[in-house]
Amino acid sequence: MPNNRAVAYKEPGVVEVIDIDYPTFELKDGPGVNPENVGRKVPHSVILKTVTTNICGSDQHMVRGRTTAPKNLVLGHEITGEVVEVGPGVEFLKVGDIVSVPFNISCGRCRNCKEGKTGICLNVNPDRPGSAYGYVDMGGWVGGQAEYVMVPYADWNALKFPDRDQALEKILDLTMLSDIFPTGFHGAVTAGVTVGSTVYIAGAGPVGLAAAAGAQLLGAAVVIVGDLNDDRLAQARSFGCETVNVGAGSVEDQLEQILGVREVDAAVDAVGFEARGHGGGAQAEEAPATVLNSLMDVTAAGGAIGIPGLYVTGDPGAVDDAAKVGSLSLSLGTGWAKSLSFTTGQCPVMKYNRQLMMAILHDKVQIADAVNAKAIPLEDAPRGYAEFDAGAATKYVLDPHGFTSA
User: Average pLDDT for residues 349-377, to the nearest whole number?
Assistant: 98
How sure is the predictor about 283, in pLDDT bands with cuts at 50, 70 and 90?
low
User: Average pLDDT for residues 100-109, to the nearest whole number?
Assistant: 97
User: Average pLDDT for residues 168-195, to the nearest whole number?
Assistant: 98
The model's pLDDT over 18-72, given as tens digits with 9 standing for 90+, comes to 999 999 999 999 998 889 999 999 999 999 999 999 999 999 989 999 888 999 9
Q: Given this chain, do its domains 5-179+348-398 and 180-343 carry the same CATH topology?
A: no
User: Average pLDDT for residues 291-297, to the nearest whole number?
Assistant: 95
> How many of the other CB atoms lie within 10 Å of CB of 313?
12
Q: Which residues contact 25 (CB under 8 A, 6 or more apart)?
A: 41, 42, 43, 45, 87, 150
Rounded percentage of the chain residues whose pLDDT exceeds 70: 98
Q: Is the pLDDT of residue 274 over 90?
A: no
User: Average pLDDT for residues 371-400, to the nearest whole number?
Assistant: 97
Q: Which residues contact 376 (CB under 8 A, 6 or more apart)?
A: 383, 384, 396, 397, 398, 399
> How many of the other CB atoms lie within 10 Å of CB of 277?
18
Which of 180, 237, 252, 168 lies closest to 214, judged by CA? 180
Which of 57, 50, 62 lies closest to 145, judged by CA? 50
Which of 13, 11, 131, 23 lies closest to 72, judged by CA? 11
Task: Answer with the residue of higher pLDDT: 74 or 289.
Answer: 74
Distance between CA 125 and CA 120 in Å, rounded?
Answer: 9
**Which pLDDT score, from 0 to 100, does residue 149 have?**
98
Residue 11's φ and ψ, nearest 5 degrees, are -165, 165
**Which pLDDT score, from 0 to 100, does residue 281 have?**
56
| Entry field: residues in the chain | 406
User: Average pLDDT for residues 221-241, to the nearest whole number?
Assistant: 97
Which of 352, 338, 337, 374 lies closest to 119, judged by CA? 352
Task: Please state the domain extents for the chain.
Answer: 5-179+348-398, 180-343
Which of 400, 352, 344 lies closest to 376, judged by CA? 400
Q: Is the pLDDT of residue 282 over 70?
A: no
**SS in 3 state form for the chain?**
CCCCEEEEEEECCEEEEEECCCCCCECCCCCCCCHHHCCCECCCCEEEEEEEEECCHHHHHHHCCCCCCCCCEECCCCEEEEEEEECCCCCCCCCCCEEEECCECCCCCCHHHHCCCHHHCCCCCCCCCCCECCCCCCCCCCCCCECEEEECCHHHHCEECCCHHHHHHCHHHHHHHHCHHHHHHHHHHHCCCCCCCEEEEECCCHHHHHHHHHHHHCCCCEEEEEECCHHHHHHHHCCCCEEEECCCCCHHHHHHHHHCCCCEEEEEECCCCCCECCCCCCCCCECCCHHHHHHHHHEEEEEEEECCCCCCCCCCCCCCHHHHCCCCCCCHHHHHHCCCEEECCCCCHHHCHHHHHHHHHCCCCCHHHHHCEEEECHHHHHHHHHHHHCCCCCEEEECCCCCCCC
Which of 66, 207, 81 lies closest to 143, judged by CA? 81
CATH architecture entry for 5-179+348-398? Alpha-Beta Complex (3.90)
User: Beta strand 198-202 with 222-227: parallel, antiparallel or unpaired?
Assistant: parallel
pTM of the shown model: 0.95
CATH (one of 2.20.70.10, 3.30.565.10, 3.30.2320.50, 3.40.50.720) for 180-343? 3.40.50.720
The number of angstroms, rounded, from the C-alpha of 75 to the middle of its chain's C-alpha atoms is 13
**Which pLDDT score, from 0 to 100, does residue 280 have?**
59
User: Average pLDDT for residues 167-184, to the nearest whole number?
Assistant: 98
Burial class (CB in 10 A: 0-12, 13-18, 19+), 284: middle
How sure is the predictor about 316, in pLDDT bands with cuts at 50, 70 and 90?
confident
Query: Rounded to the nearest 5 degrees, what angle is found at the Cα of 133, between the Cα atoms of 132 and 137?
Result: 60
The model's pLDDT over 239-270, given as tens digits with 9 standing for 90+, comes to 999 999 999 999 999 999 999 999 999 999 99
**Which pLDDT score, from 0 to 100, does residue 216 have?**
98
Q: Which residues contact 170 (CB under 8 A, 6 or more apart)?
A: 360, 361
